[in-house]
């Protein structure tokens, strides 16, 4: 589905990614874990075409999208739900969702079924569809950001720290929804998380990143077992 | 009594002009996070293109002249967006501000070279008065109120009901997220600057019956429009309208109490007062 091959990327002169390769297969949930500043978000930005890599390539559905414009990448079906939610605060919940489908030309009936779909996943959003997004709670904003991402029927969805700053109960809900999205909608998921245990427990495979490099990769269950992974990256 | 009515109406007319300036200013601020310090010069440019070239030099009809002027400035807007706002959008704001200040200087000097330094007026354009009951209103004021009102409503509909309009608001509220929705931020910026230029030109055309067309004609309007934005709540379009109307009416009444040469002071006293007491503006909203 998505293949990242030997990416080198720089912010100015500072190298932030070196020789990063990663693969997301059909129907898979892949988690990408690592400490702050390891380059996880940068990698997402590179996939989205917001940062141009110096070397390497990004292949999506068999096509090289490394040099394609960001807007084209979105309309090809890759959606990135950014860290910190980033909703449009002065727009209603409903408008936020509709803007999620910006790159699709939905008829008003299609738009309606999509909206209803989202309200089914998160009934709270349906109740609050006329409310301004900025007035929602943190958890609700995160739900909105996820749904906004789903509105365009993505072929691959990438979540950046969806659990950040949320209460533990809500975090569990959030991960349950991510699994649901993957199973019911058959959308492959690339999940970036600092909450490594959670991420490992729902994902099929996992990559561990540090200092702009992939240090480890493997099946998530095995990673949870291995003691040195625990020690180094999961804090004991 | 009829004097008060007249003052209110001409106050509203000027208020709408200030509101349009505030809106034109606000649009660019929202789309690119930059204050466009050349905007008053762009108003002047609009008036010169309309009066100097299309009407006086090419002897066109007023309607045709206005439409062609709007088209011309829209093209100029696209060029300005492509050469200034887009290339400088990721740098610190001060660079773009300096660039817009310089753009203003270039426009003024360009005008002086191209159209000459002598102020002029457009004969026969929106002259005369209309008498409604005992109240005498100038045609120019009526034209300003109607045009500005239509313009404001159209803009509001565009921003809140259409997809490109909503995309513009998305960029204003969260540029990063807008990009992730697949909104082409550059296109939005170009559109915004072009729309803003069209409004500038419209302002220039509308005030040309009230002021002579000269390189300094819009200095005061530009500043008061900025004040309108601040007083209403910067970045919030309905705020600019409220702010504009407040300034227009207050300054007209000030001219009743104080000698009318002190009229301009009223707007700026109001601006400073708001900055000190309520910097969020009357509406307290932004964007």
pLDDT per residue as tens digits for the range B79-96: 999 999 999 888 888 898
3-class SS letters over chain A: CEEEEEEEEEECCEEEEEEEEEEECCCCEEEEECCCCCCHHHHHHHHCCCCCCCEEEEEECCEECCCCCHHHHHHHCEEEECCCCCCCCCCEHHHHHHHHCCCCCCCHHHHHHHHHHHHHHCHHHHHCCCCEHHHCCHHHHHHHHHHHHHCCCCCEEEEECCCCCCCHHHHHHHHHHHHHHHHHCCCCEEEEECCHHHHHHHCCEEEEEECCEEEEEEEHHHHHHCHHHHHHHCCC
The first and second tokens of residue B4, run together, are 């008060």
**CA-based Rg of chain A, rounded to a whole angstrom?**
17
Domains of chain A plus CATH, in order, are 1-77+158-163+191-236 (3.40.50.300)
Q: Which pLDDT does position A232 carry in this prediction?
A: 66
Question: Is residue B134 domain-resident?
Answer: yes
pLDDT tens digits, residue range B119-171?
Answer: 999 988 988 888 888 888 899 999 999 999 999 899 989 999 999 999 999 99
Helix (H, G, I), strand (E, B) or coil at B113: helix
For the cut 50, the answer to whether the pLDDT of residue B7 exceeds it is: yes
Q: How far is A167 from chain B (nearest CA, A)?
A: 24
ipTM confidence score: 0.87
For residue B99, being part of any structural domain is answered with yes
What is the domain count for chain B?
1
User: Is it the case that residue A226 has pLDDT exceeding 80?
Assistant: no
B16, part of any domain: yes
Output the pLDDT for position B229.
Answer: 86
How far apart are the CA of A106 and the nearest CA of chain B, in angstroms?
Answer: 12
Residue B227 located in a structural domain: no
pLDDT in tens, A185-196: 899 999 998 888
Q: Is residue B225 part of a domain?
A: no
Q: Which of B166, B176, B184 sits opposite A99 (nearest CB)?
A: B166
Q: At what angle do helices B237-257 and B2-32 cross, to 10 degrees?
A: 140
User: Residue A20 and residue B71: Cα distance in Å, rounded?
Assistant: 50
Domain-located, residue B280 = no
Judge whether residue A157 has pLDDT over 90.
yes
Domain that holds residue B49: 9-215
Q: Give the mean model confidence (pLDDT) for residues A208-214.
A: 90
Contact B212, B56 (CB under 8 A): no
Chain B interface residues (partner A, CB cutoff 8 A): 163, 166-167, 169-170, 173-174, 176-184, 287
Inter-chain CB proximity A100 and B181 less than 8 Å: yes
Q: Which of A45, A47, A71 to mutate to test the interface with B (most CBs of B within 10 A)?
A: A71
């Amino acid at each position: 589905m998505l293949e990242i091959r030997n990416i080198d990327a720089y912010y100015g002169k500072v190298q932030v990614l070196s020789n990063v390769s990663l693969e997301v297969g059909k129907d898979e949930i892949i988690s990408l874990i690592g400490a702050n500043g390891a380059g996880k978000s940068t990698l997402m930005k590179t996939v989205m075409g917001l940062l141009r890599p110096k070397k390497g390539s990004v292949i999506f559905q068999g096509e090289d999208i490394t040099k394609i414009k960001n807007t084209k990448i979105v309309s090809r079906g890759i959606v990135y739900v950014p860290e910190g939610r980033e909703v449009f605060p002065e727009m209603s919940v409903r408008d936020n969702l509709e803007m999620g489908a910006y790159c699709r030309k939905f008829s008003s009936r299609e738009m309606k079924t999509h909206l209803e779909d989202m309200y089914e996943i998160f009934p709270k959003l349906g109740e609050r569809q006329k409310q301004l997004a900025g007035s929602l709670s943190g958890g609700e904003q995160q739900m909105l950001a996820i749904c906004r991402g789903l509105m365009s029927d993505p072929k691959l969805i990438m979540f950046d720290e969806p659990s950040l700053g949320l209460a533990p109960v809500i975090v569990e809900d959030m991960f349950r929804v991510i699994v649901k999205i993957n199973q019911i909608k058959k959308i492959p998921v690339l999940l970036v998380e600092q909450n490594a245990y959670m991420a490992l427990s729902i994902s099929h495979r996992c990559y561990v990143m540090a200092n702009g490099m992939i240090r480890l990769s493997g099946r998530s269950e095995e990673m949870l077992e291995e003691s040195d992974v625990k020690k180094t990256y999961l804090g004991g | 009594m009829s004097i008060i009515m007249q003052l209110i109406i001409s106050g509203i007319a000027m208020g709408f002009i200030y509101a349009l300036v505030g809106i034109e200013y606000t649009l660019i601020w929202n789309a690119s996070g930059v204050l466009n310090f050349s905007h008053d010069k762009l108003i002047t440019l609009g008036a010169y293109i309309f009066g100097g070239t299309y009407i006086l030099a090419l002897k066109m009809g007023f309607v045709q002249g206005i439409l062609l002027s709007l088209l011309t400035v829209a093209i100029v807007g696209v060029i300005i967006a492509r050469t200034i706002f887009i290339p400088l959008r990721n740098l610190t704001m001060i660079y773009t501000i300096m660039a817009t200040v310089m753009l203003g200087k270039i426009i003024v000097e360009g005008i002086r070279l191209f159209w000459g330094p002598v102020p002029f007026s457009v004969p026969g354009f929106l002259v005369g008065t209309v008498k409604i009951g005992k109240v005498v209103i100038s045609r120019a004021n009526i034209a300003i109120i109607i045009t500005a009102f239509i313009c404001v409503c159209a803009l509001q509909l565009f921003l809140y009901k259409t997809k490109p309009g909503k995309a513009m608001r998305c960029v204003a509220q969260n540029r990063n997220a807008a990009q992730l929705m697949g909104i082409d931020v550059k296109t939005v910026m170009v559109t915004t600057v072009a729309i803003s230029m069209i409004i500038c030109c419209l302002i220039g055309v509308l005030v040309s019956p009230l002021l002579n067309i000269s390189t300094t004609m819009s200095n005061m309007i530009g500043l008061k429009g900025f004040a309108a934005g601040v007083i209403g709540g910067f970045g919030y379009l309905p705020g600019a309208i409220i702010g504009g109307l407040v300034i227009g009416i207050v300054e007209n009444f000030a001219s009743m109490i104080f000698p009318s040469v002190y009229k301009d002071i009223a707007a700026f006293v109001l601006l400073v007062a708001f900055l000190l007491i309520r910097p969020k503006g009357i509406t307290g909203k932004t964007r």
